[in-house]
């Protein structure tokens, strides 16, 4: 099974420190939660492999109304948007970047920060554009904030994935240990 990257871990630490308040997640992989990001502050707009109440939405499908409204609210109210790991190719979630960038030109938001080694269609609208890997930038940010090894997933005794949460707060899902959907095996 996949494990969170250093960037996931640093963003989870920013969330624990109440510096990051929302995450619009376009992937289905559950990596923010595995890194320790608070579930109630994640909008899994395209569904989740690990949440039976939020099935994955096919590209031709419809987004859940409540998640779409929450994403629109985030787009309309966020002061600063960090963009990592997306090419911003015209999906609905792009509005979080474009709307915050638009409001920044009016002085009502700080804008968007895009971190990616590849160009995106929204680069010119960003308040800050960093052409680099997310892990490299997040490591530098963690050092700047003085975060310890826990924030980057490297402290002694760091537990990963399902071990981060008490058993009573976990749900069995119909996937094997390799993340393959199963009719017979269930894992936490």
Please report how the helices 134-145 and 6-16 are oriented relative to each other, as an axis angle in degrees rounded to 10. 40
| Residue 3, CB-side half-sphere exposure with 13 Å CA sphere | 11
Per-residue confidence (pLDDT) for residue 81, from 0 to 100: 97
State the pairing for strand pair 80-84/42-43. Answer: unpaired
Q: What pLDDT score does 168 carry?
A: 64
H helices of 2-145, in order, are 6-16, 31-35, 65-77, 95-105, 134-145
What per-residue confidence (pLDDT) applies to 177? 66
| pLDDT number for residue 149 | 84
Q: What is the pLDDT of residue 164?
A: 54
pLDDT at 166: 61
CB atoms < 10 A from the CB of 36, how many?
22
Residue 50: per-residue pLDDT: 83
Low-confidence ranges of the chain (pLDDT < 50): 161-162
Q: State pTM to two decimals.
A: 0.80
pLDDT value at position 80? 97
């Amino acid at each position: 099974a996949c494990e969170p990257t250093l960037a996931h871990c640093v963003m989870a630490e920013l969330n624990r420190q109440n510096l990051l308040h929302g995450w619009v997640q376009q992937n289905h992989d559950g990596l923010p939660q595995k890194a320790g990001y608070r579930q109630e502050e994640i909008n899994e707009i395209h569904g989740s492999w690990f949440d039976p109440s939020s099935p994955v939405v096919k590209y031709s499908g419809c987004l859940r109304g409540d998640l779409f409204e929450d994403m629109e609210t985030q787009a309309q109210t966020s002061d600063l948007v960090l963009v990592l790991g997306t090419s911003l190719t015209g999906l609905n979630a792009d509005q979080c970047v474009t709307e915050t960038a638009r409001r920044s030109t009016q002085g009502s938001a700080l804008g968007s920060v895009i971190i990616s080694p590849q160009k995106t269609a929204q680069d010119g609208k960003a308040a800050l554009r960093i052409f680099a890997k997310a892990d490299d930038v997040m490591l530098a940010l963690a050092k700047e904030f003085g975060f310890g090894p826990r924030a980057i997933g490297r402290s002694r005794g760091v537990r990963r994935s399902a071990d981060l949460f008490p058993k009573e707060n976990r749900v069995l899902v119909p996937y094997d240990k390799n993340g393959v959907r199963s009719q017979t095996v269930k894992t936490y």
